[in-house]
Amino acid sequence: MADNTIGTIAEIWRYPVQSMAGETLSTTELTPAGVHGDRAWGLVDREVKAIVSSSQGKRKWRDIVTLGARYLRPPPSYGPASPVEIITPSGKTMRSDEPDIDRQLSAFLGGDAHLADKETEQPRTEYGYEPVHLLTTGSLQAFAAHHPQGQFAPARFRPNIVVDTGGAWGFIEQTWVGRRLRIGEAVEIAVTDNCKRCVMTTLAQGDLPLDPAILHTVTAHNKANAGVYATVARPGSIRVGDPIRVVG
């Protein structure tokens, strides 16, 4: 692409509940904490009193990744999180404000789980990465070239922003580490590190089948990296179609 433009926003994703599938947005606020409302909820394993994810060792939590979540009303700027609707693979729905939500989730997952509002309950969590995760169409195309039978959909990798790199493909975002990017006219992010992938990318979720070769491909051809993390240097509104430029 011409000048210092490296792509445009193709998709924006928000994940109301950590480790569950999320919802696409046409526009959102990018705050110092990331996409507004991202991962405001988490599932707590009552046994260890910490938020768990599908990537952790206990098999009973693997099915978290098969659940989807969406907000029932826009998330607030501060205070308790907005209620969410959680969708099972069969299409059954449950709401965070139902009195027996923990029982329903525990029955589905096979473990003693509690749905926690992270802002008000502040449970212990192992999620310590930067608030924004970017992934390019260039990387997805490069992985697919090495494993044509695989479905390298963004949903497997849970990015916040999918960057359309046009005709350029390859592991482009790795070259952005240590650089500052501008989204649209004013929002800026600082890319800090590569994103190491785990078994969660291989699990069956939504229309995507179980495929261990997904992680094998990412590991063999890009040292287990797919996407990058970033901090928010200058908050503001972003929208699908916004250009992204290198500015530092």
Domain presence at residue 185: yes
Domain presence at residue 241: yes
- Same domain as 233, residue 134: yes
User: Residue 1 pLDDT more than 90?
Assistant: no
- Same domain as 166, residue 84: no
- Cα(191)–Cα(112) distance, rounded to whole angstroms? 37
- Give the CATH number of the domain where residue 195 resides: 2.40.33.20
Domain finish residue from 86, 121, 156: 121
Confidence of residue 2 (pLDDT cuts 50, 70, 90): very low
Domain presence at residue 93: yes
Domain presence at residue 28: no
Domain presence at residue 171: yes
pLDDT of residue 53: 81
Sheet holding 50-51, edge to edge: 50-51, 41-45, 113-117
Percent of the chain with pLDDT over 90: 81
Domain finish residue from 121, 139, 161: 121
- What is the residue range of 235's domain? 5-13+129-246
Domain presence at residue 153: yes
- Same domain as 140, residue 87: no
Domain presence at residue 19: no
pLDDT digits (tens, 9 = 90+) for 27-82: 999 999 999 999 999 999 988 888 988 776 567 788 999 999 999 999 998 888 99
pLDDT digits (tens, 9 = 90+) for 206-233: 999 999 999 999 999 999 999 999 999 9
- Same domain as 144, residue 90: no
- Same domain as 99, residue 171: no
Give the count of domains, the chain: 2
- Same domain as 100, residue 134: no
